[in-house]
Structure 1
Amino acid sequence: MHIGVPRESDPGQRLVAATPQTVEKLVALGYDVVVETGAGADASIPDDGYVAAGATIGDTDAVWGCDVVVKVDAPTVSEVARMHADATIVARMSPDDDPALVEAMRAAGVIALNLNSVPRISRAQALDVLSTMSNVSGYRGIIEAAEAYAGMFGGQVTAAGSTPPARVFVIGAGVAGLAALGAAGSLGATVRAYDVRSDVAEQIESMGATYVRVDAAAQESADGYASELSDEQEAATQRVYAAESAAADVVVTTALIRGKAPITITAEMVAAMRPGSVIVDLAASGGGNCELTVPGEKIVTENGVTIIGYTDLPGRMPKHTSQLYGTNIVNLMKLLTPGKDGQVVLDLDDVVQRGITVTRAGELLWPPPPVQVSVAPPAPASAPAPAEPAPAVEQKARKGTGVLVAGALTALLVVAAVAFSTASFASHLTVFALAVVVGFYVVTGVTHSLHTPLMAQTNAISGIILVGSLLQIGSTDTVVTVLAVVAATFASINIFGGFSVASRMLAMFRKEA
């Protein structure tokens, strides 16, 4: 089969659905790739690069006459008319908003695969273009904010004086929000973030940001998105948004609920912000989270607040975004080509393939059936009712009493051991206690982002062993000294091995020369 890569028809779209790197992978799957002349020009990819990767360069008719056509944006009705029956079109589409296009694809008998509807399940992450675009948008949004902000993001200490770091507040800790707070933190800003899903607090804090806590929090719905807020939750979050935006230099909003943007920053909140502050509305494509956002534009309010509502942030970084998007396409084609023989095999029994299929062989398959993505399965109807839980206050009191009793018993045992033991045992016990304390503070002083759960546990143990063994190496007892040397050796191997593993992990993210 032939895969066609056309030039995007929207003159403002700088992305392309394939790069030379992804073309090589498509060819390895057994496909012949045809790229339209100049398709990658806006992404700084010349035609020669595609040819070197194994593709051929063709005109518009040659590309749209291929068995599979991969695009960034949805095709037009006239473009669909160029395709032959049973051909496959892969692109980002909005079937609910463009019924005329859906009908054109059905009537033409083509297989239409919508990349915007990839189910949010673990094994589909490699083809999730929404996450790809959100990741780039979050990063680019901070770049735009840094350009519009009148100061520096990182604090400076110089002979001429010092400047404080910028204070950035991020609303939403999805893919875009995490990318934004990571980029802002890397520039030296003080970052605070909030999400209605309280279970993402650990993700926020692991990246060095401060999680703003609110008592009323929403839960994640079954389709992987945050559920809508109740009136009480809405009031609580509005109070947080008002306080945080008034104190922030840069506010980044990312809230989208099934493509629609709820208002999180009102006109009154904007009026309370300092002159020179910046709002980056990453949800501008859905109408905007800020009440004053103008989608597609950057404006300055009467009180000097800059509101950035660009909807083409991924396209402002076309080279890398095209590479990431093209990789999503490759992963999809791997799924559709189980035999690696250049033949598309659509399996509608697969929830991922069914979830993205809009039309096939003249049949309308949209909307797809819902996919349960919640990690907690629903309780069976016949399950017995849970026992009445003890009141929270009573449970807390019981827990506190248990801790006090355990602490008292431990203290008595330690006192008894010291009082009725030899002087050498008391000395060893003191060394052990100091090793535990010092080891604990040494390990916990390492930032969370450098730990995996396994490394954190083993390094904590190794830190305690190393400190204790170093204190015992000078013992007059030969057996104690030998054991201390052996312990220090193995603990050091584990610790330095951890550094080696961390170095290899970091190397994976370094740009190749």
Structure 2
Amino acid sequence: MLSIRVLRESRAPSADALTSGERRVALDPATAGKLAMAVSKDAESPVVTIESGAGTHAFFNDEAYADTRGVTVADDDSGRGDAELVLCVRPPEPEAIDQLAEGSVLVGLLAPFQSKALIERCKARKITALSMELVPRISRAQSMDALSSQAAAAGYHCALTAAHEASVFFPMLTTAAGTIRPARVIVVGAGVAGLQAIATARRLGAQVWAYDIRAAAREQVESLGAKMIDTGVDASGEGGYARELTEDEKAKQAEALAKHLSTAHAVITTAAIPGRRSPQIISEDMVKRMQPGSVIVDLAAEGGGNCALTKAGETVMSGGVKIIGPTDIASELPVNASEMYAKNLFNLLSPFIEDGELKLDFEDAVIGPMCITRNGDVVHDGVRKALEESA
């Protein structure tokens, strides 16, 4: 019978820093029980093992797991080698891979283009590694798309951060001291995170403009009550992502964007390309032209930032403009973010559980594209090329 293990995150917060670090867990108690039942409806012996403390920072304590049918809690990591399927949120430390059974399956947000040491360990132990970042953008895989589910949490929280850090009210207020006009907010990037940021800022009463180099984003932006900044550049690419701009296109979009930024009270940037550095969209000169008291919240900080002055995990002041580079942003909503991620995992894996065993189909339109390593080889062309270039 399939044995499943959920790892304790290596980047979990320390006891005295509960608001930083990775707070999510790969399975919440309800989904852990659901996955156990998918393996064995009788589940006389535990099917899913949760490492003690794995859910603590997401407010799922060990007792909640222990009380779930088919689920047990492990006091330490000594039994990792007994699991056939291992689930995580962030990439495990390379040393942790050595504790896993040869030929086991590892599933998580593995950052495959930045995790060379981890991939080499997976190769050496013939581990099948499935990266949730590489779930294809097809209709069938929408319920498995962890990037989208976590981006929704991140976009929402970024809008709240912008409202909290801004020097003005977001909504229009009519007071005895006069009328206060609503804040002007610009959201850069109209993907899942950007659209959630737009919707949240609108709910808070701000006037919102959106910037995206994909012309197809206009309809979604306007459906949320925001206005699209027209730059005359369309950079729609494959898989729903934006392609790289030419130098002429960059100059054209920069000129149009700079004009709008100069009047903004808050800017939320969300543009990211998986496996690559975040595109730099807001230059230092653009920041200089912004009004004092305005704020930039750069959701793309972990990938280098959309703003030239962004520093990941820090807040920078430049000419009266506050630039915030949040990290682990989805972890700021650990309960719902964990629940959504767990459902992504369940929707991905449950169709391939048959007679109590995991039977992955590597010709499948979802499993094939997200497989990084298998049988001691790097089987993903893009990841293999990135590793060769970094050698």
TM-score, normalized by length of structure 2? 0.90
* Structure 2 counterpart of 1:17, from 14, 26, 48: 26
- What does residue 159 of structure 2 align with? 142
Q: d(CA) in 1 for partners of 2:124 and 2:233?
A: 49
Query: Any conservation in 2 of the 1:355–1:368 contact (CA below 8 Å)?
Result: no
Question: 1:123 and 2:140 equivalent?
Answer: yes
Q: d(CA) in 2 for partners of 1:116 and 1:251?
A: 26
- What does residue 254 of structure 1 align with? 270
Q: Percent identity?
A: 39
Q: d(CA) in 1 for partners of 2:171 and 2:81?
A: 49
- What does residue 233 of structure 1 align with? 249
- What does residue 5 of structure 2 align with? 4
* Structure 1 counterpart of 2:312, from 289, 295, 299: 295
Q: d(CA) in 1 for partners of 2:230 and 2:152?
A: 24
* Structure 2 counterpart of 1:41, from 56, 59, 78: 56
AA aligned opposite 1:8: E
Q: d(CA) in 2 for partners of 1:227 and 1:368?
A: 16
- What does residue 331 of structure 1 align with? 347
**How many residues of Structure 1 are paired with residues of Structure 2 in the alignment?**
366
AA aligned opposite 1:10: R
Q: d(CA) in 2 for partners of 1:200 and 1:86?
A: 42
Measure how far apart 1:357 and its partner are: 1.1
Measure how far apart 1:274 and its partner are: 1.2
- What does residue 323 of structure 2 align with? 307
Q: Could you report, residue by residue, the CA deviation over 1:161-209 in whole angstroms, capped at 9, with x for unpaired residues?
A: 2211111011111111101101100100000112111121111000111
Q: CA RMSD in A?
A: 1.7
* Structure 1 counterpart of 2:150, from 133, 136, 160: 133
Q: Which structure carries more strand by proportion?
A: 2
- The farther-off stretch of 56-65 and 69-78 is 56-65
Measure how far apart 1:368 and its partner are: 6.2
Measure how far apart 1:158 and its partner are: 2.1
Measure how far apart 1:63 and its partner are: 4.3
- The farther-off stretch of 141-150 and 95-104 is 95-104
Query: Any conservation in 2 of the 1:22–1:327 contact (CA below 8 Å)?
Result: yes
Q: Could you report, residue by residue, the CA deviation over 1:257-276 in whole angstroms, capped at 9, with x for unpaired residues?
A: 34321221111111111111
Measure how far apart 1:151 and its partner are: 2.0
* Structure 1 counterpart of 2:285, from 239, 260, 268: 268
Q: Could you report, residue by residue, the CA deviation over 1:91-134 in whole angstroms, capped at 9, with x for unpaired residues?
A: 11133323222121111122111111111111111111111221
Three-state SS of the structure 1 residue aligned to 2:231 is coil
Aligned positions of 1:62-73 closer than 5 A: 62-73=79-90
Q: d(CA) in 1 for partners of 2:148 and 2:51?
A: 27
Measure how far apart 1:64 and its partner are: 4.9
Moved runs in structure 1, 4+ residues, more than 6 A? none
Query: Any conservation in 1 of the 2:155–2:193 contact (CA below 8 Å)?
Result: yes
Measure how far apart 1:342 and its partner are: 2.8
Quick one: structure 1 residues 64 and 188, their matched pair in 2 at CA, closer, same or farther if it must change by over 3 Å? farther
Query: Any conservation in 1 of the 2:113–2:383 contact (CA below 8 Å)?
Result: no
Q: d(CA) in 1 for partners of 2:68 and 2:382?
A: 36
Q: d(CA) in 1 for partners of 2:112 and 2:195?
A: 29
Q: d(CA) in 1 for partners of 2:160 and 2:201?
A: 9
- What does residue 38 of structure 2 align with? 29
Q: d(CA) in 1 for partners of 2:82 and 2:261?
A: 52
TM-score, normalized by length of structure 1? 0.69
- What does residue 218 of structure 2 align with? 201
Measure how far apart 1:225 and its partner are: 1.3
- Greater RCO (Cα-Cα under 8 Å, separation 6 or more): 2
Three-state SS of the structure 1 residue aligned to 2:148 is helix
- What does residue 233 of structure 2 align with? 216
- What does residue 346 of structure 1 align with? 360
Quick one: structure 1 residues 326 and 170, their matched pair in 2 at CA, closer, same or farther if it must change by over 3 Å? same
Three-state SS of the structure 2 residue aligned to 1:223 is helix
Three-state SS of the structure 2 residue aligned to 1:181 is helix
Q: Could you report, residue by residue, the CA deviation over 1:459-494 in whole angstroms, capped at 9, with x for unpaired residues?
A: xxxxxxxxxxxxxxxxxxxxxxxxxxxxxxxxxxxx
- What does residue 395 of structure 1 align with? none
Measure how far apart 1:329 and its partner are: 0.8
AA aligned opposite 2:263: A
Quick one: structure 1 residues 311 and 72, their matched pair in 2 at CA, closer, same or farther if it must change by over 3 Å? same
Q: Could you report, residue by residue, the CA deviation over 1:298-350 in whole angstroms, capped at 9, with x for unpaired residues?
A: 1222x21111111211111111111111111111112322x3x3311111111
Three-state SS of the structure 2 residue aligned to 1:247 is coil
Quick one: structure 1 residues 67 and 216, their matched pair in 2 at CA, closer, same or farther if it must change by over 3 Å? closer
Aligned positions of 1:78-117 closer than 5 A: 78-117=95-134
Three-state SS of the structure 2 residue aligned to 1:355 is helix
Q: d(CA) in 2 for partners of 1:363 and 1:168?
A: 47
Measure how far apart 1:230 and its partner are: 2.6
* Structure 1 counterpart of 2:72, from 39, 56, 64: 56
Measure how far apart 1:256 and its partner are: 1.9
Quick one: structure 1 residues 239 and 296, their matched pair in 2 at CA, closer, same or farther if it must change by over 3 Å? same
Query: Any conservation in 2 of the 1:5–1:63 contact (CA below 8 Å)?
Result: no
* Structure 2 counterpart of 1:365, from 379, 384, 387: 379
Query: Any conservation in 2 of the 1:265–1:291 contact (CA below 8 Å)?
Result: yes
Quick one: structure 1 residues 348 and 187, their matched pair in 2 at CA, closer, same or farther if it must change by over 3 Å? same
Quick one: structure 1 residues 160 and 291, their matched pair in 2 at CA, closer, same or farther if it must change by over 3 Å? same
Query: Any conservation in 1 of the 2:105–2:129 contact (CA below 8 Å)?
Result: yes
Q: Give unmatched runs, 5+ long, in structure 1.
A: 371-513
- What does residue 183 of structure 1 align with? 200
Quick one: structure 1 residues 369 and 75, their matched pair in 2 at CA, closer, same or farther if it must change by over 3 Å? closer
Measure how far apart 1:19 and its partner are: 0.3
Query: Any conservation in 1 of the 2:80–2:101 contact (CA below 8 Å)?
Result: no
AA aligned opposite 1:140: H
Measure how far apart 1:79 and its partner are: 0.9
Q: d(CA) in 2 for partners of 1:191 and 1:84?
A: 51
AA aligned opposite 2:330: P
Q: Which structure carries more helix by proportion?
A: 1
Q: d(CA) in 2 for partners of 1:359 and 1:241?
A: 41
Q: d(CA) in 2 for partners of 1:368 and 1:261?
A: 18
